[in-house]
Structure 1
Amino acid sequence: MRDLASGIRLFVDGQRWVLRHGRWFGFGLLPALITLVGYAGALVALAFWADDATAWATPFADDWDSPWRGLFRGLLTAVAFGGGLLLAVISFTAVTLLVGQPFYESLAERVDVSEGGAPDGPDLPLWRELLQSARDSLRVLVRVAIWGVLLFAAGFIPVVGQTVVPAIGFCVSGYFLALELTGVAFQRREVPLRERMRMLRGRMALTLGFGVPLILCFLVPLVSVLLMPGAVAGATLLVRSLMPPQGVPEPRPESGAPVEPLDFRKP
């Protein structure tokens, strides 16, 4: 329970940090606004062209009697738009972080500096950082899709599917959202994705305490845009709670033997 409360406190502290540093709040809003405008335009285009696309994709229904042709194509149109909307919700954070990589890296660095013990950032060109971030985001989205299929199938189980499965879904979504958001601070410390996942799973209550409230807030339209700067700041504080200053993980001695600190910068 203590870790769960600490995770919630990190969520609040991140929002509080950007509100105390108003310039960084506005700075962090830009990528989310750009992504929001892009997604809104894509969804409007999808809504406008979905009927034509459905009719083009189902020529075999041209000879069907009314109202079956209209009902069938209307259902497919609704499914297509709903799928696009779901994809937008799932990928919004990943795309925003990719678009705003330079913005959020600067924000995470500023949080580290203000808290003390800021690590040196990776000595990589911007295109390499963007490529690495895109690759990690794609790997995370694949895992999200797999979990989504499993939870969707489990939703058909009587009683359990309407009670336990939604709760598990929020926890899974909170974990992956925390994994996405901490990617900026972890990448500055050159921690690979697999190790990030291990560290977050090792403090699951802390991770869920941070991620689940964010997921619940992100369900409200436009709130995700307003909370993104604070979410990145809070994720940086979360990483700092998992790792000591300068990006060296806590050693875990076995049988009393001393353990050298891990260096993630080594191949």
Structure 2
Amino acid sequence: MRDLAAGFGYLVKGQRWVARHRRWWGFGMLPALITLVGYVAALVALFFWTDDIVAWATPFADDWSHPWVGLFRGALAVLLVGTSLLLAVITFTAVTLLVGQPFYESLSERVDLSVGGTAPESGLPLWRELLIGAREGLALVIRVAIWAVLLFALGFLPFIGQTLIPALGFCVSGFFLAEELTAVALARRGVLLKARLRMLRGRRMLTLGFGVPLTLLFLIPFVAVLLMPGAVAGATLLVRDLTGEDADLDPAAPAGEPAAPADALSGRP
């Protein structure tokens, strides 16, 4: 419970940071706003075409008697919309970070400087960072797609599919949302995707405490735009906890834990 509360605390601290630095907050909303317009258009189209998509995907149910065909296709429509919303929450962050990458990296550096006085850098040339980012982005999309298919299939289970599976879906979304946001600061520290995932799993409750509330808030379209700059700032503060950099500054961090060297975190030899 302590880690859950600490994770949520970093989300709040990030919003407070951008509230004190309003110029960063204002610029940080622009990439999120551009991305939101595209996502809203796609989700509205999906909403109007959901029944047609479900009917096209289930031709075998055309001859079923009423009300079974309606109940079956209605449940599939709910699952399709729900899965699409969860995927939208996860990919919204990834696309927004891609659109606003230079700004969000600068914002993360500024947070590091304001808290610790230094801003770690990967030391890699730009082309190498872009190559690693593209490769890791594809790997993360594959992981998210596998989870989405699995959760969609489990949604057909009686009772569990309508209760436990949606809750699990929010936890999965929160975890990957936290990964995407912390990647901005961890990539500057030379931490690769596998090492990032290992770090977040090692502090699972801390990660979920940050990511799950943000996932729920991001379901409200314009709220996602307002909170995005603070989410990046909060994720940077969370990274400082994960790496032990704030062990002597933040009472929520484990006392006496030294900062881990970049090479040890990155997974590189």
Q: How far 1:102 sits from its partner (Å)?
A: 0.5
Match of 2:250 in 1: none
1:71 matched residue in structure 2: none
Deviation at 1:159, TM superposition (A): 1.7
Note the C-alpha offset of 1:240: 0.3
The separation in 1 between residues aligned to 2:262 and 2:90, in whole angstroms, is 39
Pair 263,39 (structure 1): closer, same or farther in 2 beyond 3 Å: closer
8 A contact 2:174–2:211 mirrored in 1: yes
Distance 1:86 1:22, change over 3 A: same
2:123 is aligned to: 123
Alignment-derived partner of residue 112 in structure 1? 112
Task: Report the Cα offset of residue 157 of structure 1.
Answer: 1.3
Separation in 1, partners of 2:178, 2:265: 23
Residue aligning to 1:264: 266
Please report how far the alpha carbon of residue 160 of structure 1 lies from its aligned counterpart in structure 2 after TM superposition. Answer: 1.5
Percent identity between the aligned chains? 65
Taking structure 2 as the reference length, what is the TM-score of the superposition?
A: 0.76
Instruction: Assess, with a 3 A threshold, how the Cα gap between structure 1 residues 161 and 38 changes in structure 2: closer, same or farther.
Output: closer
Match of 2:71 in 1: none
Distance in 2 separating the partners of 1:231 and 1:25: 10
1: CA distance between counterparts of 2:203 and 2:230? 21
> Quick check: 2:182–2:236 contact (8 Å CA) kept in 1?
yes
Instruction: Report the counterpart of residue 159 of structure 2 in structure 1.
Output: 159
Asked if the contact 1:190/1:264 (under 8 Å) is kept, the reply is yes
Q: Comparing 149-158 with 173-182, which one deviates more in the overlay? A: 149-158
Q: CA deviation at 1:44?
A: 7.0
Partner of 2:213: 213
Distance in 1, Cα, partners of 2:154 & 2:233: 35
Q: Tell me which residue corresponds to 1:243.
A: 243
Matched with 2:15 is 15
Counterpart in the other structure of 1:141: 141
Q: Is the CA contact (8 Å cut-off) linking 1:8 and 1:210 kept in structure 2? A: yes
How many equivalent pairs are there?
A: 239
**How many Å separate the matches in 2 of 1:124 and 1:251?**
21
Q: Which has the larger radius of gyration?
A: 1
Name the CA shift for 1:199/1:263 in 2 (closer, same or farther; >3 Å): closer
Q: How does 1:158-177 map to 2 (within 5 A)?
A: 158-177=158-177
Alignment of 1:46-125 (within 5 A): 88-125=88-125
RMSD of equivalent CA atoms: 3.5
User: 1:221 is aligned with what amino acid?
Assistant: P
Displacement of 1:92 in angstroms is 1.1
Given the alignment of the two structures, is residue 229 of structure 1 paired with residue 245 of structure 2, yes or no?
A: no
CA gap of 1:35–1:261, structure 2 versus 1, over 3 A, is closer
Match of 2:31? 31
> Unpaired runs of 5+ in structure 2?
57-73, 247-256
Unaligned runs of 5+ in 1: 58-74, 253-258
1:242 deviates by 0.6
Between the aligned partners of 1:85 and 1:170, the Cα distance in structure 2 is 11
Q: Secondary structure at the match of 1:171?
A: helix
Question: Take 2:84 and 2:219, find their aligned partners in 1: how far apart are those partners?
Answer: 16
The answer (yes or no) to whether the contact 2:195–2:265 under 8 Å persists in 1 is no
Q: What SS does the aligned partner of 1:222 have?
A: helix
* SS at structure 2 position matched to 1:262: helix
